[in-house]
């Protein structure tokens, strides 16, 4: 049974909304649950019925919560613009976010899963951290100033989790989408950006991270300083799972193969989106379509799959959607139909991946 289904059933049980049929399904799962799963289930009930709502603690538990919240429906209306809310703010239905926090430990594969939220708070000598979320909708950007003075610029369609105060060995934040960071130096406390199971770790630098879930890659590009990209594995900085990235370099991590490599580039281009600049460099047309959809808050469709094989290059500064699409279409790679909220890219496509400039 899908873990997300179990999360939903436990949430309904805690909220008193479980149907008799759903109760039978949950009981069947409990009957064959492992001791660790049953222990976590019981700890979840303790969390829910606690006199005061515990806060999210740092480390693996917060990462699990991030992964779980990403699968829940968005709490904010897409037309409302960027929002800031505590992670325990009640989305619809009202109990989901609190249940998400209570169930976070269920998403862990090992290690910390045996602790659960309550035990983690008691065992950790550092004060617990309260995480907030900042979200941007399509077509919008935002700036966040963290407690240590670090500045973060969020690109469109991005979710960012960060603590109201930093404590402990690391300064942990969590990202889904794209953001540019100017990190306040602190040699004793590394700044760690969690992107799924991977990490971007720095002491003090400026860099960009692109980690949209719908994209096939995660990218980290450095303007100043040095960044360590750590893929899921040992997590040891000196291991083969770590790749160091220097100024004017971009690291590309391919999700499907877990491979990573460095590319040379221009530091100023890595944060160009923050200045209203779109840059395409032999970019597949389907990726161009996703970028345009995020930046202009519009639906962009390809008439056929062959169009995705076309590659485009171009640089656009604060130009309208119609201007960008019109100029790109001059390459002859595609035609287009533009309406109020949709762009349809038309044409036979490209039989072979080629660069069009």
Beta-carbon contacts of 218 under 8 Å, excluding residues fewer than 6 positions away, are 195, 196, 198, 209, 210, 211, 252, 253, 255
Each residue of 107-137: b (16+ CB within 10 Å) or e?
bbeeebbebbbbbbbeebeeebbebbbbbbb
What average pLDDT does the segment 147-160 reach?
A: 95
Residue 98 three-state SS: helix
Helices H / strands E in the chain, number of each: 9, 20
pLDDT tier, 32 (very low <50, low <70, confident <90, very high otherwise): confident
Q: Who wins on pLDDT, 57 or 38? A: 38
Bridge partners (DSSP) listed for residue 293: none
Sketch the domain layout of the chain as residue ranges. Answer: 1-76+91-116, 130-274, 276-356
Q: 105: which DSSP letter?
A: G
- Taking only the tens place, the pLDDT of each residue in 308-322 is 989 999 999 999 999
- pLDDT digit string, tens, across residues 128-150: 667 888 999 999 999 999 999 99
Measured distance CA(263)–CA(338) in Å, rounded: 35
Provide the whole-model pTM.
0.65
CATH architecture of 276-356: 3-Layer(bab) Sandwich (3.55)
Q: Which residue has better confidence, 152 or 62?
A: 152
- Contact 256/217 with Cβ under 8 angstroms? no
User: 231 pLDDT band (50/70/90 cuts)?
Assistant: confident
The first and second tokens of residue 344, run together, are 């349809």
Second CATH level (architecture) for the domain 130-274? Sandwich (2.60)
Task: Give the contacts of 51 (CB within 8 A, at least 6 positions apart).
Answer: none
pLDDT confidence band for 21 (50 / 70 / 90): confident
């Amino acid at each position: 049974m899908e873990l997300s289904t179990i999360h939903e059933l436990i949430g309904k049980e805690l909220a008193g909304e479980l149907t008799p049929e759903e109760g039978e399904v949950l009981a069947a799962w409990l009957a064959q649950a492992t001791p660790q799963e049953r222990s976590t289930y019981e700890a979840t009930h303790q969390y829910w019925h606690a006199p005061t709502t515990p806060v999210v603690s740092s480390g693996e538990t917060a990462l699990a919560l991030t992964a779980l919240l990403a699968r829940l429906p968005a709490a904010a209306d897409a037309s409302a613009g960027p929002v800031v809310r505590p992670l325990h703010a009640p989305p619809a239905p009202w109990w989901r976010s609190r249940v998400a926090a209570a169930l976070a430990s269920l998403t862990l594969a090992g290690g910390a899963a045996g602790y659960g939220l309550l035990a983690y708070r008691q065992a950790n000598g550092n004060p617990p951290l309260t995480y907030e979320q900042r979200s941007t909708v399509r077509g919008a950007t935002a700036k966040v100033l963290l407690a240590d003075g670090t500045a973060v610029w969020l690109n469109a369609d991005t979710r960012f989790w960060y603590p109201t105060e930093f404590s402990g060995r690391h300064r942990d934040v969590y990202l889904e989408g794209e953001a540019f960071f100017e990190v306040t130096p602190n040699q004793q406390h590394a700044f760690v950006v969690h992107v799924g199971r991977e990490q971007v770790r720095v002491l003090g630098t400026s860099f960009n991270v692109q980690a949209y879930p719908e994209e096939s890659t995660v990218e980290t590009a450095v303007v100043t300083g040095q960044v360590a990209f750590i893929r899921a594995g040992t997590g040891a900085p000196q291991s083969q799972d770590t790749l160091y990235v220097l100024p004017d370099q971009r690291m590309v991590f391919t999700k499907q193969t877990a491979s990573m490599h460095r590319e040379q580039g221009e530091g100023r281009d890595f944060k160009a989106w923050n200045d209203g600049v779109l840059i395409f460099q032999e970019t597949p047309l389907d990726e161009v379509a996703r970028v345009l959809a995020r930046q202009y808050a519009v639906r962009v469709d390809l008439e056929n799959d062959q169009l995705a094989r076309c590659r485009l290059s171009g640089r656009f500064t604060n130009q309208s959607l119609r201007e960008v699409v019109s100029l790109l279409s001059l390459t002859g790679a595609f035609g287009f139909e533009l309406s109020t909220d949709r762009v349809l890219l038309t044409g036979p496509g490209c039989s072979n991946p080629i660069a069009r400039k």
